[in-house]
Structure 1
Amino acid sequence: MSKRDKIRMSGEELADFLAKQAKVQIATIGKDGAPHLVTMFYTLYEGKIAFTTYGSSQKIVNLRRNPVMTCLVEAGDAYNELRGATLTGRARVVEDRDVLLAVGTVVAHRMAGLPVPGDLSTVDPAFVEGVGKAMAKRVAVILEPTKISSWDHAKMG
């Protein structure tokens, strides 16, 4: 078994890791072919990386031109603590208000340090209403991954 194979996260480990993190680095491709890299707060929507952003943002302009996107989620400070994953695939820009509200509400909860709700019916209606207003000019982005690489240096012993 290669060193690379030893540090790869299992599907369950990866799902748990992604569910516990809050920030993702997003790379889209600009008009000139150069990467456009930003950090976003995210959640998992149907098991996939999802975030909201303004519909007129540069990343959305890029994704409407070319939907290829790479996401990096990482954690750890010391070398033997480094864990992470890169996920590459096609980004779906979603304008459906129900999806936008679901993603936006969970991201807002995480940013506010609140527990992640199991479903929107458990969230204070005033909170949901506030998120709905904040989503007025936003869209959701969901990554449909085609390639995933992961690592957990703690597995090296």
Structure 2
Amino acid sequence: MGSNKREKIKMTEQEVADFLHASHKVQVATIGKDGEPHLVTMFYALLDGKIAFSTYRTSQKVLNLRRDPTMTCLVEDGGEYNELRGVALYGKGAVIEDPAVRSKVGAVVGSRMAGLPVPEMGEPIDPALAEGIEQAMAKRVIIVMEPDRVVSWDHRKA
């Protein structure tokens, strides 16, 4: 693909922000101890505009990030080639243990996973759901993607 076509299908900053806000699954790649990619799909929320998700503090992702914070995230959509769009973020994964951040991200992701209306970050949620999320989050940490570089494409523009 020529550079002219690449520029034509690139998303604007606002389009990237809107796309990430409308999506909820991200493919996350970290680097394993032997250098191989470790790739998983996670539900995410946006924390201050950045991809954030919860995972068990003893998960392979966390072990990898504590050893080497290099992380890549891919959010994509589309069934046919001319519908494909996506955002790839390259940077570092920050492991956050702060209970307040864990609760905020947990409320959004937990609501989404339970099939309930998804609150905006920091909005109060049903107390029963909040209690269940707090229990589920007790052994978890939050990973926040700190991107150094963002690449996007939207083939619907072509």
Give your verdict on TM over 0.5.
yes
Q: How does 1:1-157 map to 2 (within 5 A)?
A: 2-156=4-158
1:125 Cα deviation from its structure 2 partner: 1.4
Whole-Å separation in 2 of the counterparts to 1:122 and 1:145: 28
1:116 Cα deviation from its structure 2 partner: 2.2
Number of residues of Structure 1 aligned to a counterpart in Structure 2? 156
Whole-Å separation in 1 of the counterparts to 2:84 and 2:71: 23
SS of 1:122's partner is: coil
1:134 Cα deviation from its structure 2 partner: 0.2
Tell me, which stretches of 5 or more residues in structure 1 are unaligned?
A: none
Pick which of 107-116 and 61-70 moved more: 107-116
Identity of aligned residues (%): 60
1:119 Cα deviation from its structure 2 partner: 4.6
Whole-Å separation in 1 of the counterparts to 2:66 and 2:135: 24
Whole-Å separation in 2 of the counterparts to 1:43 and 1:20: 10
Structure 2 vs 1, CA of residues 125 and 67 (structure 1 numbering), >3 Å: closer, same or farther? Answer: same
TM-score w.r.t. length of structure 2: 0.95
RMSD over aligned Cα, in angstroms?
1.1
TM-score w.r.t. length of structure 1: 0.96
Which contiguous aligned blocks of 4+ residues in structure 1 show a shift greater than 6 angstroms? none
- Maintained 8 Å contact 2:46/2:121: no
Tell me, which stretches of 5 or more residues in structure 2 are unaligned?
A: none
Whole-Å separation in 2 of the counterparts to 1:87 and 1:119: 21
- Maintained 8 Å contact 2:25/2:44: yes
Structure 2 vs 1, CA of residues 119 and 105 (structure 1 numbering), >3 Å: closer, same or farther? Answer: same
SS of 2:135's partner is: helix
- Maintained 8 Å contact 2:26/2:44: yes
Output one character per residue of 1:80-121: Cα deviation in whole Å (capped at 9) or x when no partner: 110101001111100000000101110111222322213544
SS of 1:123's partner is: coil
Whole-Å separation in 1 of the counterparts to 2:74 and 2:122: 27
Whole-Å separation in 2 of the counterparts to 1:88 and 1:119: 23
